[in-house]
Structure 1
Amino acid sequence: MTEANFHISFSKVEKALSFFNLLKMKGVKRLINDGVSDDFKHASLGNKYYYAYKIGLENNDFDFLLKDESFFQFQFEKIDDLLEIRYAFFQNPFEYLSYEEFLLHEIDLDTNKESLETVGNLFEQEYSQFLNERELTSSYSTLRYDSDFKNYKPILHSVSHIHIGHLSNIRIPMDKVLSPLRFVLFTIKHVYYNNWKDKLDKNRCDLMKMLSDCKSGETLLHEDFWTEDEKIELHLK
């Protein structure tokens, strides 16, 4: 993948997240230029995923923040003519409700004879307290994609691979360098199933066009970095 193709694909991520009704905001940083904070780098090497997530959120170490306060990161470093790529998705590990959902779950509107519209911001203090006291959920995911040429070892550490889980040794090999948009769509399908299903049911043509478009700019690995032995192993194509 060229640097230009990376930027073209990255520019389509915001529209894709909005299409699935997931986007809350773009980050105040552009991680390709600004990088992540030193605090986040240190925290991400630790054993406690939720701590790394909180540091990333507090330090704005993201390119895109989702409505449930999960976030995406996109970075690369150019070494000679190769891109050493890192994409990451950090799912919010804490119980999350939007303000509207909090009102529906926690407040008896019938008893109060109020509607969501008339309640307005009256319960913001209670909502803020809920966010501060929320507990870890029973299930959350973190996904990362790397193209890592410098640490390539056939059958052990593939150049192109997807990580599943925090600090795990799960590396699913791939035969190509993945685009930012492809990583986002992969994440949405497997983490935000209901959003994906809704668009598949109601906007199938637009979804299929996006899936076709996400392949643009991706490049197959050269045989120097994708051997015949590796093709025997289970991998993503």
Structure 2
Amino acid sequence: MTIKIGKINASFQEAIKLLKKVELLHSLNYSRKETMNFSKFSEKFVSCMMEDDYIKIYKTAMKYGDYDILLNDNSFFQFSADNKCEIIRYAFYQVPFKGATIEDFAKFLGKGRLDSKQLRELESEQELDYELFKESAEERHFVTPIRYDYCPKQHENSIYHPTAHIHIGLEQNLRVPVRRELTPLLFTAFVVRMMYYKNFKLNIGNREIEKLMTRREEFKIEDPEFKEEEQKQLYLL
């Protein structure tokens, strides 16, 4: 079974819904037309996205608007797929700075505890000062970007480079084989569970959120894209 682009687009909307409900969503990127085409990302970002300098990658993406969903802590998601879904890429870039949220900025200004509406107003009213505040934030010692890739044409070797895999961390050769074509919702739920455990735990018992978090969709990858040798290795799903 092969996933269709319509399903990916619909699942993207469900991913947004999930992020809203677990109170992680900051905003969507309205600076360009909503599309899944990889060409939406700037040449500047594409030219550096595989480099070792994570700070440069992150800052380039933020400078040129190379994100689809921005989270409250300034981490972001990217989602892309071609029309035939022969190349699928989902990525989560964790913010590489500590203490750089709008809540941190409010505390720095001595504003005390503000609700979400007040925080949005503060961010809008003091946009320049907030940008300078973020620039001065301390770098994290460790960051954990997460990326999902699906591309049968790059199936060089069934053990070395599986058709679908997840990268966790900065090491590009760390590829965890995956036996499904993931949807944006499944990828987002995985990131929420792994990277935002506090938000996840606070919403245990909310049936609507649990339904989104535990959605099982059968887009299973079969031979020859998932060979017998791969089935003997450790893989996900």
Aligned to 1:143: 146
The answer as to whether partners of 2:28 and 2:68 remain within 8 angstroms in 1 is yes
In the comparison of the two structures, how many residue pairs are matched? 223
| Pair 1:228 & 2:228 matched | yes
Report the AA paired with residue 92 of structure 2: F
Aligned to 1:98: 101
The answer as to whether partners of 1:3 and 1:83 remain within 8 angstroms in 2 is no
1:170 to 171, 174, 191: 174
User: TM-score, normalised to structure 2's length?
Assistant: 0.85
Report the AA paired with residue 24 of structure 1: H
Structure 1 residues 131 and 224: alpha-carbon distance in aligned structure 2, compared to 1, 3 A threshold:
same
The answer as to whether partners of 2:158 and 2:230 remain within 8 angstroms in 1 is yes
Structure 1 distance, partners of 2:103, 2:12, is 31
Structure 1 residues 5 and 129: alpha-carbon distance in aligned structure 2, compared to 1, 3 A threshold:
closer
2:67 to 55, 62, 71: 62
Structure 2 distance, partners of 1:190, 1:115, is 30
Structure 1 distance, partners of 2:236, 2:59, is 31
Larger Rg: 1
SS in 2 for 1:50: helix
Task: Give the C-alpha shift of residue 83 in structure 1.
Answer: 2.4
Structure 1 distance, partners of 2:222, 2:102, is 50
Structure 1 residues 115 and 155: alpha-carbon distance in aligned structure 2, compared to 1, 3 A threshold:
closer
| Pair 1:199 & 2:203 matched | yes
Task: Give the C-alpha shift of residue 174 in structure 1.
Answer: 1.1
CA displacement 1:131-188 (0-9 Å, x = unmatched): 2211211222100000011110211111011011235211000111111100001001
Structure 1 distance, partners of 2:133, 2:11, is 37
2:193 to 182, 189, 193: 189
Report the AA paired with residue 38 of structure 1: E
Segments of 5+ residues of structure 1 without an aligned counterpart are: none
Aligned to 2:47: 42
Task: Give the C-alpha shift of residue 40 in structure 1.
Answer: 0.2
Structure 2 distance, partners of 1:177, 1:115, is 45
Aligned to 1:84: 87
The answer as to whether partners of 2:143 and 2:169 remain within 8 angstroms in 1 is no
The answer as to whether partners of 2:77 and 2:90 remain within 8 angstroms in 1 is yes
Report the AA paired with residue 6 of structure 1: I
Structure 1 residues 206 and 167: alpha-carbon distance in aligned structure 2, compared to 1, 3 A threshold:
same
Task: Give the C-alpha shift of residue 219 in structure 1.
Answer: 0.9
Segments of 5+ residues of structure 2 without an aligned counterpart are: none
Structure 1 residues 147 and 96: alpha-carbon distance in aligned structure 2, compared to 1, 3 A threshold:
same
User: TM-score, normalised to structure 1's length?
Assistant: 0.85
Structure 1 distance, partners of 2:188, 2:97, is 21
Report the AA paired with residue 234 of structure 2: L
Structure 2 distance, partners of 1:56, 1:91, is 12
The answer as to whether partners of 2:149 and 2:166 remain within 8 angstroms in 1 is yes
CA RMSD of aligned residues (A): 2.4
CA displacement 1:204-228 (0-9 Å, x = unmatched): x223211343x33x41112111112
1:19 to 15, 18, 21: 21
Structure 2 distance, partners of 1:212, 1:103, is 35
Aligned to 2:11: 9
1:154 to 151, 158, 170: 158
Identity of aligned residues (%): 29
